[in-house]
């Protein structure tokens, strides 16, 4: 079936992104995985190509592109490896807070650097004691003259080490009832006194993506770094998280497609009992089932992208896509590794990396259990 979402101009853009990555990412990706970091020079190259925040308005240096271009960037980067997810996080999850809720001064000050790659973004919501239950965060920010004094700890923060600008969720009114009314968002710059980074966390997968703990100790943040209004942070996050869920569904869908592609290649070459694996009926059935699930996922994900492009409310559908596609991709990973036999367990085969990397997708961007509670509320 032809993919209807992409028009001719999108395919041209897709080819350009793919050939850029073939030259600038694919040859170095194994090294980045080993070094546990994507180098800063790569971000600068992305900025020069126009692949950072393409959606940003022209007055700030963006190209005002519609979401379909971000979809292509997310898909092509995921094809290289999920370790590059930090780029989608920067483009689609964090920059939109600044674009949507930031003041003109904030946008003029920060967006050009986010577009050029000089400023890498991170978002710090999760704390050691609060992940799914965001209202339970303990980080506080109290007003003191023309600053806020920020205190607290964050964990599992993607781009935590390489980021220059961190959007921090904190409580400006810890006594507020209900608790979400006390949550605010503020931007904290690298090198702000009192802001330190802990260890780079040792993950089971997505090795080139850096993940870190962040600490704020009497960290003085200028009051003009507050995003939007005090006490509205939770509301801003609830409005923005459907896009994050959709992006996670998009990248997991691509991962599933890539795993099947690798496995079709492998089972076409590997022989057992005198025939390629792919010609054995049981294996054909397994491959046919995987293909069917992947096509169903693709159809639904593209439909949700269309809804988002049309400005329709896709809050529930993004949660459905997030939980279903990430679990489907994990089923695909399990079966595809199995079909590689012992070689699948060896790091030389890409399926081993996909298997490790995909495991986190039902956990982050709102766990799949939380997705189901969101869907259940609409029943």
Ligand X SMILES: Cc1cc2nc3c(=O)[nH]c(=O)nc-3n(C[C@H](O)[C@H](O)[C@H](O)COP(=O)(O)OP(=O)(O)OC[C@H]3O[C@@H](n4cnc5c(N)ncnc54)[C@H](O)[C@@H]3O)c2cc1C
Gap between the Cα atoms of 247 and 308, Å rounded? 11
Q: What distances in angstroms separate CA 96 from CA 150, 194, 318, one per listed residue? A: 23, 27, 17
For residues 321, 322, 328 and 332, what is the CA-based torsion angle, rounded to 10 degrees?
Answer: 120
- Active-site residue identified among 99, 127, 213, 244: 244
Closest distance of CB 256 from ligand X, Å: 19
Nearer to ligand X, 123 or 290 (CB): 123
Which residue lies nearer to ligand X by CB, 203 or 270? 203
Cα separation, 189 vs 223, in Å, equals: 13
104 to 143, contacts with ligand X by CB under 6 A? 123-126, 131-132
Nearer residue to ligand X within complex by CB, 49 or 239? 239
| Element (DSSP H or E) covering residue 70 | helix 67-80
- Tokens 């994990």 — which residue? 330
231 Ramachandran zone, left/alpha/beta (phi>0; psi -120 to 50): left
Closest approach of ligand X to the CB of residue 154, in Å: 7
Cβ count within 10 A of residue 290: 21
Using CB under 6 A as the binding rule, whether residue 95 contacts ligand X is answered as: no
Binds ligand X (CB under 6 A): choice among 52, 111, 157, 283: 157
Applying CB under 6 A, which of residues 158, 184, 208, 251 lies at the interface with ligand X?
A: 158
- For ligand X, which is the closer residue by CB, 124 or 290? 124
165-171 and 121-124 strand pairing: parallel
Q: Is 360 in the site for ligand X (CB under 6 A)?
A: yes
Q: DSSP letters of 312-377?
A: ---HHHHHHHHHHHHHHHHHHHHHHHHHTGGGGGSTTSHHHHHHHHHTTTTTSSS-HHHHHHHHHH
CB environment 238-254: b (16+ within 10 A), e (fewer):
eebbbbbbbbbbbbbbb
| Closest distance of CB 369 from ligand X, Å | 3
Kindly state whether residue 369 participates in binding ligand X, applying the rule CB under 6 A: yes
211 is a site residue for ligand X (CB under 6 A): yes
Could you give the CA distance from residue 291 to residue 274 in angstroms, rounded to a whole number? 25
Cβ closest to ligand X, residue 166 vs residue 283: 166
Stretch that binds ligand X, among 22-30, 252-260, 289-297, 358-366 (CB under 6 A): 358-366
Q: Degrees (nearest 5) of the Cα angle 162, 368, 36?
A: 25
Q: Give the residue with the Cβ less far from ligand X, 59 or 132.
A: 132
- Whether 244 sits among the annotated catalytic residues: the reply is yes
Residue among 131 and 152 whose Cβ is closer to ligand X: 131
Per-residue interface string for the shown chain with ligand X, residues 171-210, x marking contact by CB under 6 A: --------------------------------x-------
In angstroms, how far is CA 195 from the centroid of its own chain? 24
Binding segment toward ligand X, per CB under 6 A, in 12-20, 151-159, 291-299, 319-327: 151-159
Contact 74, 245 (CB under 8 A): no
Stretch that binds ligand X, among 9-17, 177-185, 339-347, 366-374 (CB under 6 A): 366-374
- Report if residue 151 touches ligand X, rule: CB under 6 A: no
Q: Which stretch binds ligand X (CB under 6 A): 31-39, 150-158, 259-267, 294-302?
A: 150-158
Contact 172, 182 (CB under 8 A): yes
Q: Which residues are catalytic?
A: 244
Residues that bind ligand X (CB under 6 A): 123-126, 131-132, 156-158, 203, 211, 360, 363-364, 366-367, 369-370, 373
């Amino acid at each position: 079936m032809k993919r209807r979402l992409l028009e001719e101009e999108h395919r041209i853009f897709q080819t350009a992104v793919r050939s850029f990555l073939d030259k600038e990412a694919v040859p170095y990706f194994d090294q980045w995985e080993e070094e546990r970091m994507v180098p800063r020079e790569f971000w600068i190259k992305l900025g020069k190509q126009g692949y950072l925040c393409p959606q940003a308005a022209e007055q700030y240096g963006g190209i005002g592109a519609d979401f379909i271009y971000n979809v292509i960037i997310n898909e092509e980067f995921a094809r290289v490896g999920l370790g590059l997810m930090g780029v989608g996080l920067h483009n689609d999850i964090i920059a939109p807070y600044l674009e949507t809720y930031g003041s003109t001064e904030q946008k003029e000050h920060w967006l050009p650097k986010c577009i050029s790659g000089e400023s890498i973004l991170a978002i710090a919501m999760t704390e050691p004691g609060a992940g799914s239950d965001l209202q339970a965060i303990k980080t506080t920010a109290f007003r003191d003259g023309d600053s806020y004094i920020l205190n607290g700890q964050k964990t599992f923060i993607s781009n935590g080490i390489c980021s220059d600008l961190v959007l921090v969720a904190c409580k400006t009114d810890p006594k507020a009832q209900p608790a979400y009314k006390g949550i605010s968002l503020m931007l904290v710059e690298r090198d702000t006194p009192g802001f330190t980074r802990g260890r780079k966390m040792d993950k089971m997968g997505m090795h080139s993506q850096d993940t870190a703990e962040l600490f704020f100790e009497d960290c003085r943040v200028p009051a003009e770094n507050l995003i939007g209004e005090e006490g509205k942070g939770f509301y801003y996050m609830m409005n923005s998280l459907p896009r994050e869920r959709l992006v996670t569904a998009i990248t997991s869908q691509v991962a599933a497609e890539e795993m099947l592609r690798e496995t079709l290649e492998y089972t076409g070459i590997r022989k057992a009992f005198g025939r390629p694996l792919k010609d054995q009926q049981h294996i054909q059935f397994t491959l046919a089932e995987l293909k069917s699930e992947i096509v169903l996922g693709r159809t639904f994900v593209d439909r949700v992208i269309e809804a988002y492009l049309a400005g329709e409310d896709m809050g529930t559908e993004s949660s459905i896509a997030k939980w279903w596609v990430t679990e489907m991709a994990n089923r695909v990973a399990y079966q595809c590794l199995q079909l590689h036999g012992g070689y699948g367990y060896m790091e030389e085969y890409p399926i081993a990396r996909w298997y490790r990397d995909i495991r986190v997708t039902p956990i982050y961007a709102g766990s799949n259990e939380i997705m189901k509670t969101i869907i259940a509320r609409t029943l």
